[in-house]
Amino acid sequence: MNLPPVLAPGGIDPRTQACSTAELGPLKLDCGVVLERITVAWRTYGTLNADKSNAILVCHALTGDQYLADSHPVTGKPGWWHTLVGPGNLFDTDRYFLICSNVLGGCMGTTGPVEINPQTGKPWGLGFPVITIGDMVNAQALLLDHLGIEQLFCVVGGSMGGMQVLEWAASHPRRVFAALPIATSSRHSAQNIAFGEVGRQAIMADPDWHEGDYHSHGTNPHRGLAVARMAAHITYLSEPALHKKFGRKLQNRQNVTYGFEADFQIESYLRHQGSTFVERFDANSYLYITRAMDYFDLAAEHGGKLANAFKGTPVRFCVISFTSDWLFPTQESRAIVHALNAVAANVSFVEIDSDKGHDAFLLDEPEFHKTLQGFLDGAAEHRGLLPGRSVDS
Amino acid sequence: MNLPPVLAPGGIDPRTQACSTAELGPLKLDCGVVLERITVAWRTYGTLNADKSNAILVCHALTGDQYLADSHPVTGKPGWWHTLVGPGNLFDTDRYFLICSNVLGGCMGTTGPVEINPQTGKPWGLGFPVITIGDMVNAQALLLDHLGIEQLFCVVGGSMGGMQVLEWAASHPRRVFAALPIATSSRHSAQNIAFGEVGRQAIMADPDWHEGDYHSHGTNPHRGLAVARMAAHITYLSEPALHKKFGRKLQNRQNVTYGFEADFQIESYLRHQGSTFVERFDANSYLYITRAMDYFDLAAEHGGKLANAFKGTPVRFCVISFTSDWLFPTQESRAIVHALNAVAANVSFVEIDSDKGHDAFLLDEPEFHKTLQGFLDGAAEHRGLLPGRSVDS
């Protein structure tokens, strides 16, 4: 099954059949546009406790979605953090109430360029306003209002999810008890903007893109989107991991074919990444979300000084990076930690030794999981979420 | 002026007006195909001495060509190493006879997919056989035969040029006095194959590519080739250099535009790299040459052990890498040096401290140039090319 390009009126939307949606708003965007109503699609796991103090907001990355722990309704694959969620698990659904919503600009049910513009009755396409990480966070804040949750116990996420975590802590410090930004940065680097631009240009170079109006033309820029995904995917892995996993191994053959087929396993793997991605993701969403990442610059939002973003913050932070992550290298996390230290914030910082690259936050990395567990347990104790323990905050 | 896609019969070819060409052959390729006649286009600088002992073969990289030191006939830009070539210069044209030929598979006059297939009277396109670095070197060897040069004083090149240097030393050790492989590797890594594949897929995704037969269709896959170039260009630079040069600086504007224009200087720069590249390069050539790099694996050609490639070699080597080069990192050069040490070859190895990334070998990097100069001077003395010095070899 492919992502439905445009939904039949009154039809059942497979993307949101297994999750909740609500009409919220108005939402004033950073670009100045006001969206009177937005749809937010989200999934929860566990139960909100009586004093609504056990909510964890999980922020997804560029191509993630609200299906954190259960199978993806389009691909059928397990949720992107499913190994960490469940009763007695790291994100213990007996203790916590997990919320994961599709970001603004996404393509899994939350308002974005693939959805219908109420003004025109047609998909927004490039008519959708350009959004920011701050806008994504404000949409999530509307959802929390809707759910009656004043303060999150924790907000956690990796990569672009980590940008949202930082934005939450900076813009809504009273609504966050603990923050876990993972494998992320307080601003997108020149190199990362460059990779984002390559992806966008690949999409826009596809004649089936039609200036973003492919729905009207009955086309889909699958080829461009696949190339964008392939280029991005390389940045999610590390050179040592690629070497270990693929090296120069050939794909189901003894010798090279002297042709342009996927002789090497790495080629076959990348092509597969491209071709499966386009089944579940919208090309315009890819443009908007990568743009939001490019625009993210928390220091610039606070007078050019990152520490200003966290002045007097009551939030307790745990910042995590991975040694082989070259997309969001440790130095980016260190800059966040320096800024937090400069305002005497409560922060711990752990660099996890891993050869898995940026994607380590999505993979089986025991030291990383131990770190998450330790921080969550400590914060839960302080928040009075451990049974039989005293509450000190 | 754009690269002429197909030359008018009897027309003047701007690509080769300012260089020499010759019909050579036959050339048996690694894939098994025999090309009865190939055209090689080359440029020389300086004068061949009486005993033909002062020839330096300069091997160009993926998108380089024979216009080493004079202006490029299509773009009008100075040659890619023009600062190093001339009387009294590093590559001293009063002392050396420099030869630089367009590689087999290239698009600046040497036989490649853009040239006319004599069997069909039409451009080769994908009918051109897949070539290897070894094939490129064997085409150069035919050129040396044609010029009556038995032994090169030196063979030098960076990146894919360095691969050719290694192949020369391994396959024709008696024809090489000294070898200077720069910023290169004895085999393409999984990550580099991955980047190569992204570029190829970007080209092949362009409907104007027409399975390589764009000449017949009167089209040109410029958009795909531009995306390929943009992705590759990122890998030629270092993150620190990008940060220093561009950071998050905006392009001729005070604020972001909340759109998909090139708000950031790095975006504008990359787009420019893409759009100027397509004027001088052929998309099919890009496929063939990246494929040749992917296939390069000198150890595999010698029973799986790199040292075997250099057993008993009389060649004196100088291996050079750059600290910030992440496309061909120092560890790749070190592997070459280890293999040379294992066979007690004459080798020196220098890692140049530079933040310029892979492209450092093309840029103003004084320590690098000093290293080149020192090695060339020493080798020239041993080869009896310094006036008034004794000849010891």
> How confident is the model at residue B390, as a pLDDT?
47
> How confident is the model at residue B393, as a pLDDT?
43
> How confident is the model at residue B12, as a pLDDT?
82
> How confident is the model at residue A1, as a pLDDT?
42
Which residues in A lie closer than 8 A to residue B191 (C-beta atoms)?
234, 237, 239, 242-243
> How confident is the model at residue B337, as a pLDDT?
98
Please answer whether residues A106 and A99 qualify as being in contact, where contact means their C-beta atoms are separated by less than 8 angstroms.
no
Structure confidence at residue A386 as a pLDDT band (50, 70, 90): confident
Which residues in B lie closer than 8 A to residue A226 (C-beta atoms)?
201, 205
**Token pair of A234 as six digits:** 């390389």
Q: Which residue of A has its CA nearest to B249?
A: A190
**pLDDT at residue A390 tops 80:** no
pLDDT digits (tens, 9 = 90+) for A59-116: 999 999 999 999 999 999 999 999 999 999 999 999 999 999 999 999 999 999 999 9
By CB atoms closer than 10 A (0-12, 13-18, 19+), residue A390 is: exposed
Kind of pairing between the strands at A97-101 and A38-45 = antiparallel
A137 in B contact zone (CB under 8 Å): no
**Which are the contacts of A121, defined by CB distance < 8 A and separation ≥ 6?**
none
Asked if A258 lies within 8 A of B130 by C-beta distance, the reply is yes
pLDDT digits (tens, 9 = 90+) for B113-165: 999 999 999 999 999 999 999 999 999 999 999 999 999 999 999 999 999 99
> How confident is the model at residue B386, as a pLDDT?
85
Which residues in B lie closer than 8 A to residue A291 (C-beta atoms)?
260
Give B105 to chain A, closest Cα distance, Å: 14
- ipTM confidence score: 0.94
Q: Which residue of B has its CA nearest to A32?
A: B258
**Taking a contact as any Cβ pair under 8 Å apart, which residues of chain A between 281 and 320 contact chain B?**
287, 291, 294-295, 297, 300
Which residues in A lie closer than 8 A to residue B187 (C-beta atoms)?
248
Please answer whether residues A362 and A157 qualify as being in contact, where contact means their C-beta atoms are separated by less than 8 angstroms.
no
Query: What is the distance between the alpha carbons of residues A373 and A154, in angstroms, rounded to a whole number?
Result: 13
Query: Is B358 an annotated catalytic residue?
Result: yes
Nearest to A200 among B189, B258, B260 (CB): B260
Peptide bond into A26 cis (omega under 30): yes
Q: Which residues pair with A98 in a beta bridge?
A: A45, A56
For B193-290, CATH gives 1.10.1740.110
Average of per-residue pLDDT values in chain B:
95
In degrees, rounded to 5, the angle at the alpha carbon of residue A262 between the alpha carbons of residues A210 and A237 is 80
The one-letter amino acid code at A148 reads: G
For A20-188+297-383, CATH gives 3.40.50.1820
Q: For chain A, what are the domain ranges?
A: 20-188+297-383, 193-290
Picking from A355, A374, A377, A375, the residue whose alpha carbon sits closest to that of residue A364 is A355
> How confident is the model at residue A12, as a pLDDT?
82
Picking from A68, A56, A163, A89, the residue whose alpha carbon sits closest to that of residue A362 is A68
At residue B99, the 3 state secondary structure works out as strand
Convert A230-253 to b/e letters by CB count within 10 Å (16 or more is b): bbbbbbbbbbebbeeebebeebee
Full pLDDT tens readout for chain B, 393 residues: 455 545 545 678 889 999 999 999 999 999 999 999 999 999 999 999 999 999 999 999 999 999 999 999 999 999 999 999 999 999 999 999 999 999 999 999 999 999 999 999 999 999 999 999 999 999 999 999 999 999 999 999 999 999 999 999 999 999 999 999 999 999 999 999 999 999 999 999 999 999 999 999 999 999 999 999 999 999 999 999 999 999 999 999 999 999 999 999 999 999 999 999 999 999 999 999 999 999 999 999 999 999 999 999 999 999 999 999 999 999 999 999 999 999 999 999 999 999 999 999 999 999 999 999 999 999 999 999 987 554 444
Average of per-residue pLDDT values in chain A:
95
DSSP letter for A59, please. E
pLDDT digits (tens, 9 = 90+) for A40-54: 999 999 999 999 999
The one-letter amino acid code at A292 reads: A
Nearest to A239 among B30, B189, B247 (CB): B189
> How confident is the model at residue A391, as a pLDDT?
47
**pLDDT at residue A393 tops 50:** no
Query: What is the distance between the alpha carbons of residues A143 and A149, in angstroms, rounded to a whole number?
Result: 9
Picking from B246, B60, B7, B40, the residue whose alpha carbon sits closest to that of residue B143 is B40
Please answer whether residues B290 and B113 qualify as being in contact, where contact means their C-beta atoms are separated by less than 8 angstroms.
no
Which residues in A lie closer than 8 A to residue B126 (C-beta atoms)?
260
Nearest to A231 among B30, B191, B198 (CB): B198
**Token pair of B237 as six digits:** 């630079």
Domain B20-190+301-382 superfamily per CATH: Alpha/Beta hydrolase fold, catalytic domain (3.40.50.1820)
Asked if A294 lies within 8 A of B264 by C-beta distance, the reply is yes
- What value does the mean pLDDT take over residues A244-266? 95
**Taking a contact as any Cβ pair under 8 Å apart, which residues of chain A between 186 and 205 contact chain B?**
187-191, 193-195, 197-198, 200-202, 204-205
In degrees, rounded to 5, the angle at the alpha carbon of residue B309 between the alpha carbons of residues B307 and B314 is 95
Kind of pairing between the strands at B20-24 and B38-45 = antiparallel
Query: What is the distance between the alpha carbons of residues B277 and B137, in angstroms, rounded to a whole number?
Result: 25
- What value does the mean pLDDT take over residues A136-159? 98
> How confident is the model at residue A388, as a pLDDT?
57
Nearest to A205 among B206, B237, B260 (CB): B206
Asked if B194 lies within 8 A of A256 by C-beta distance, the reply is no
